Amino acid sequence: MQILVTGCGGFLGSEIVRQLLRRGDHVVGVSRQSYADLEALGMTHRRGDLCNASFTQNALVDVDAVIHTAAVAGVWGPWQRYYRINTLATEHVIDACRQNKIPSLVYTSSPSVTFDGSDQCGIDEAVPYPPKWMCHYPHTKALAEQAVLKAHEPGRFSTCALRPHLIWGADDPHLLARVVDRARSGKLRIVGDGQNLIDTVHVSDAAASHLYALDALGKSPETAGGQAYFVTQDEPVNCWDWIGQICETAGVAKPTKRIGFSTAYRMGALLETAYRWMGRKEEPPMTRFVAAQLARHHYFDISAAKQRLGYTPKQTMAERLAELRDRWSSKHA
């Protein structure tokens, strides 16, 4: 197949590209920057900005399906930036798929589209969107997800949305890098009682879920399409035990100092207000969303992804952590 991947140079997007190439698909990558390493593997590159409707129409041609991972993450920044990149660009991708008669679209969403700051214990996709979101990222991703699912037309244009949770891996420049940096600087605090359970997903499995979804849309669009799917390692862990293991693997002290959830939440609200008032562009050291993510349970029932997409994680959490230790120790040998 000829598969187009947006955000091809990102942590998740690049792994999707590599897995598609390994199984013999032809891959077209779309991004704003060049990635010579992926081109050397055989990826064709179309460089440009998906916020530009004309570019998107011209770039999304001569392919059998699109995997749309491009997005801006984070918990701080102006609404317009998040809306343009996460929502408007996704609408451009949907329009281009329709215009160019591309039959399938797999969209990378996020479990945060359902998060309202309260515990999420084994929830499935029946949980509704919250009446309001705690920051612009989940809000704009939810708007994009809704547009993707609404666009599903059995027999003409099949779509689905995946919600991979806390993607990580040895080369992770986001989650693990942030955790280790904050622990190394002594700024990482256990928020809440330290007993909250969370789901995560290794980048290899997160990427594989997109291939499963792509194949399922092709084989049984009436069953797989028009749905959102939580994607995890299917193995909830204690958040702070897991973070402690990551820190120990990186050779830094795991966090021991604590802050109550209510205190952290109030501090986040005050800092958000102060940073907005001062017009500061950098992310505050604490926000309400981050406080809630670090203190609340958030783990999910992935039965739908298993049953409708055929998704299963390839390795256990213990095996993935062992793999991380091997990779990091070889880097610093």
Q: Encode pLDDT of 258-311 as tens digits.
A: 999 999 999 999 999 999 999 999 999 999 999 999 999 999 999 999 999 999
User: What is the reported pTM?
Assistant: 0.96
Percent of the chain as helix, strand, coil, to the nearest 5 = 45, 15, 35
pLDDT in tens, 167-204: 999 999 999 999 999 999 999 999 999 999 999 999 99
**137-148 mean pLDDT:** 98
Selection from 198, 76, 94, 208 nearest residue 145 by Cα: 94
Which residues are catalytically annotated?
137
212 within domain boundaries = yes
Q: Which residues lie closer than 8 Å to 177 by C-beta, 6 or more apart?
A: none
324 within domain boundaries = no
Assess whether pLDDT exceeds 90 at residue 330. Answer: no
98 within domain boundaries = yes
Domain that residue 43 falls in: 2-168+199-234+300-314
157: domain CATH number is 3.40.50.720
188 within domain boundaries = no
Tally the domains of the chain.
1
DSSP letters along 225-243, please? Answer: TTEEEEE--S--EEHHHHH
221 within domain boundaries = yes
pLDDT in tens, 205-219: 999 999 999 999 999
- Give the count of beta carbons closer than 10 Å to the beta carbon of residue 251: 11
76 within domain boundaries = yes
279 within domain boundaries = no
Percent of the chain at pLDDT exceeding 70: 99
251 within domain boundaries = no
Cα–Cα distance between 74 and 275 in angstroms, integer?
15
